[in-house]
């Protein structure tokens, strides 16, 4: 969840970035504290909606951490992605939910009343059947009420955490089932 990411970022900074994400240690205290305040606000907002999976990380934080700069393995680990999904993303250049993912939908045991499969935006699983991704709550089903709350959560996050990332206006990937 987002709280885990928060703790990992703090731990990376406290440990001096020996292994990864040196950008966290290069930030001055003001910048670091501003980013962490945004993450704290995102955690607070998200906790009120209780989505079945966590939203994507705030785009401003993602950008500053270098999510879009090619350190896929360390970023994936920071975000709590399973190793199989990190490898699939890095090696296969799967940068979006694709036809293979959509073909897997018919192979899933979809609980009654569920209308969508939800994932954090930017998380591209190796497979929609990836058990580890389901266990880590990176893939989940949503019923109509949960789906409505997810849309409301996205609206509140956009309003309360404005940013300028043009390609990042949703916090969840959504595969509508009905």
Give the domain range for residue 28.
Answer: 2-176
d(CA 4, CA 153): 19
Helix, coil or strand: residue 96: coil
| Closest listed residue to residue 67, CA positions, set 165, 156, 136 | 165
What is the tally of structural domains in the chain?
A: 1
Instruction: Read off the tokens for 85.
Output: 């999904």
Q: Is the pTM of this model over 0.85?
A: yes
125 vs 84: CA distance, rounded Å: 8
Distance between CA atoms of residues 21 and 17, nearest Å = 6
Q: If the chain, 178 residues long, is cut into consecutive pieces of 10 residues, what is the mean pLDDT of each piece?
A: 89 73 80 94 97 94 76 81 89 79 93 97 93 97 98 96 80 92
DSSP state of 107: G
Report whether 55 contacts 153 (CB < 8 A). Answer: yes
Taking alpha carbons only, the member of 168, 50, 173 closest to residue 117 is: 173
Cα-based angle 41, 43, 49 (whole degrees, multiple of 5): 110
Cα distances (Å, whole numbers) of residue 34 to 31, 47, 65, 114: 5, 20, 13, 38
Given phi > 0 = left and psi -120 to 50 = alpha, else beta, which region is 22?
Answer: alpha
């Amino acid at each position: 969840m987002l709280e885990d990411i928060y703790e990992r970022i703090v731990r990376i900074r406290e440990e001096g970035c020996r292994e990864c994400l040196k950008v966290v240690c290069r930030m001055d205290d003001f910048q670091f504290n501003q980013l962490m305040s945004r993450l704290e606000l995102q955690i607070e907002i998200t906790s009120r909606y209780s989505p079945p999976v966590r939203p994507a990380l705030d785009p401003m934080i993602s950008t500053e951490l270098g999510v879009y700069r090619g350190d896929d393995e360390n970023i994936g680990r920071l975000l709590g992605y399973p190793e199989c999904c990190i490898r699939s993303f890095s090696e296969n250049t799967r940068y979006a939910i694709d036809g293979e993912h959509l073909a897997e939908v018919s192979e899933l045991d979809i609980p009654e009343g569920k209308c969508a499969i939800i994932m954090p935006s930017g998380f591209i699983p190796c497979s929609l059947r990836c058990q580890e991704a389901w266990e880590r709550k990176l893939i989940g089903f949503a019923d109509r009420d949960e789906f409505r709350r997810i849309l409301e959560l996205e609206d509140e996050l956009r309003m309360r955490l404005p940013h300028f990332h043009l390609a990042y206006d949703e916090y969840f990937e959504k595969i509508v089932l009905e």
